[in-house]
Amino acid sequence: MSNSSPSFLKSSLGKKFIMGFTGLFLISFLVVHVCINACIYFNDSGETFNMAAHFMSHNIIIRVVEVGLFIGIILHIVQALIIIMHNNKARPQKYAVQNQAVSSKWYSRSMGLLGTLLLMFLIVHLANFWVPTKIAVYTGKEQNSFEELKEVFANPIILVVYLLGIVSLFYHLLHGFQSAFQSFGLNHKKYTPFIKSFGFWYSLLICLVFASMPITLYLGLIK
Amino acid sequence: MSHGNMNLTLKIWRQNSGSEPGQLVTYPVKDISPDMSFLEMFDVLNEQLVAKNESPIVFDHDCREGICGMCSMVINGRAHGPKTGITTCQLHMRSFKDGDTIVVEPWRAQAFPVIKDLTVDRSSFERIQAKGGFISVNTGTAQDANCLPIPKDDADASFNAAACIGCGACVATCKNASAMLFVAAKVSQFALLPQGKVEATTRVKNMVAQMDAEGFGSCTNTGACEVECPKGISLENIARMNREYLVANCVS
Ligand code: SF4
Ligand code: FES
């Protein structure tokens, strides 16, 4: 048999692989993010939190990883757009009746929509925190991240936007986590139930901690 | 109307040829026995149409016992109808109620163009198969049965993958019209056996390349194919193919 296949990364399987790989990379970042958020629960007027935030915005290694993170996000999005456009062409004539709910979960079919919501949330989120931090770092201004946090989350509209973003994140992760392992070829009678339940608890825990932060700050439970 | 028989409204996709547009046409059918198979109900309808000098509905079928994979119909939005683990020919009218409206459409995929009415062209599957869904063996006397020991689990998994009848329900069901489950089954049945090892690398690469070239969509792991597959082909096969593909691309 001759070998007539296109390059790995151009193939449909290679694209899935990149989606899974960048996805898991972003998932691992969430752990770091959530741990820093949790620093507010020392309830020390944000002292620990500010220390962690300062480290994240000034440490050189973190700066480099941050670039990787943006590359990861962009790759994940670009790859998703390519896959979606390709898939739309795969069924030019739609069904008059299609009963999809019986055979798959709604969120597994809505990754594009959930991802779009997440991107919109991400833009708001970056504008709220990342941009001011960058400005402060480059102008050399002293920054009290914790005070900024309280200020932003005093706004109920922002609170709602964040909670919606976190719900989208939950469902995106719920499918994405286990889906990445399937794309890597890791599916096993013995281990897959574990991967799936780990993915569920991971998604739930991460999202609960993320959600707790704006809520507690809005309610003034943490000062 | 004898006891338990049903009157139904069918809405069936009619399309003269691939180059003409089609539409759903409504046909009332009367006195359908719950013991009829879905295809027998179509036979009854077609006889009525012929008697009225109308052209009968064209649909694929052959064995009518769930082994050939021809009877492609999306019934009320589900490939092979409301039951799982069976093909359309194994579906009985007792799965419906008197007065039901049943919508019947062909498999819908770019790579499965409609030929006429409910019949689609699935030769894209054959072209994928031809790219590597075989093993090369020397002819001659058959080998002694026990000279190639195969672990029971592998033999079973290979057999289960080989149960794929190439019906295309996985493609029809998938929101992306992806052929992953079919191709994965065809790759897996050989990947698990020593006889399949020789061509393992080129097999998976060439079959995946052909799958992409045919215009099937890309898998997003929704798992719908596994649910609707009449032969219970599992998602594990897709993972195995992903693995095989990754390894094949690393070694060559
Ligand atoms: S994998 Fe299942 S649904 Fe797909 S072609 Fe084979 S038998 Fe049909
Ligand atoms: S006609 Fe052969 S499987 Fe249905």
Domain termination site, one of B89, B115, B141: B115
Domain termination site, one of B115, B139, B159: B115
Task: Give the residue numbers spanning the domain of B29.
Answer: 6-115
Are B79 and B193 in a shared domain? Answer: no
pTM assigned to the model: 0.93
Q: Does residue B1 sit within a domain?
A: no
Q: Does residue B79 sit within a domain?
A: yes
> B26 — phi, psi (to 5°)?
-90, 130
Q: Does residue B148 sit within a domain?
A: yes
Q: What is the DSSP string of chain B?
A: --TT-EEEEEEEEE-SSTTS--EEEEEEEEEE-TTSBHHHHHHHHHHHHHHTTPPPPP---SSSSSSS-----EETTEET-SSSS--GGG-BGGGS-TT-EEEEE---BTTB-EEETTEE--HHHHHHHHTTSS-----SSPPPTTSS---HHHHHHHHHHHT-----HHHHHSTT---HHHHHHHHHHHHTSHHHHTTHHHHHHHHHHHHHHTT--------HHHHH-TT---THHHHHHHHHHHHHHHH-
Are B164 and B234 in a shared domain? Answer: yes
pLDDT digits (tens, 9 = 90+) for A103-154: 999 999 999 999 999 999 999 999 999 998 888 888 888 888 888 888 999 9
Ligand 1 atom at minimal distance to the Cα of residue B69: 8
CB pairs under 8 A between A and B: 158
pLDDT digits (tens, 9 = 90+) for B180-228: 999 999 999 999 999 899 899 999 999 999 999 999 999 999 999 999 9
> B10 — phi, psi (to 5°)?
-105, 140
Q: Does residue B195 sit within a domain?
A: yes
Q: pLDDT at position B100, please?
A: 97
Q: pLDDT at position A144, please?
A: 86
* Domain of residue B48, CATH code: 3.10.20.30
- Alpha-carbon span B104 to B118, nearest angstrom: 8
Helix A12-38 / helix A47-58 crossing angle, nearest 10 deg: 140
Contacts of A110 in chain B (CB under 8 A): none
Are B209 and B136 in a shared domain? Answer: yes
Among A117, A147, A137, which residue's Cα sits nearest to residue A50?
A147
Contacts of A12 in chain B (CB under 8 A): 178, 208, 211-212, 216-219
Are B192 and B213 in a shared domain? Answer: yes
Are B142 and B245 in a shared domain? Answer: yes
Are B208 and B106 in a shared domain? Answer: no
Residue A4 has pLDDT above 50, yes or no: no
Ligand 1: does its nearest atom lie under 6 Å from the Cβ of B216? no
Are B183 and B215 in a shared domain? Answer: yes
CA A183 to the chain's CA centroid: 18
Distances in Å between the Cα of A1 and the Cα atoms of A14, B135, B204 are 21, 10, 11
Domain termination site, one of B115, B142, B173: B115
* Domain of residue B227, CATH code: 1.10.1060.10
What would be the CATH architecture of the domain defined by A4-218? Up-down Bundle (1.20)
- Alpha-carbon span B17 to B11, nearest angstrom: 18
Residue A193 has pLDDT above 60, yes or no: yes
Are B134 and B70 in a shared domain? Answer: no
Q: Does residue B151 sit within a domain?
A: yes
Q: How many domains does chain B fold into?
A: 2
Residue A1 has pLDDT above 60, yes or no: no
Are B87 and B168 in a shared domain? Answer: no
Are B133 and B108 in a shared domain? Answer: no
Are B181 and B216 in a shared domain? Answer: yes
Ligand 1: does its nearest atom lie under 6 Å from the Cβ of B182? yes
Are B94 and B133 in a shared domain? Answer: no
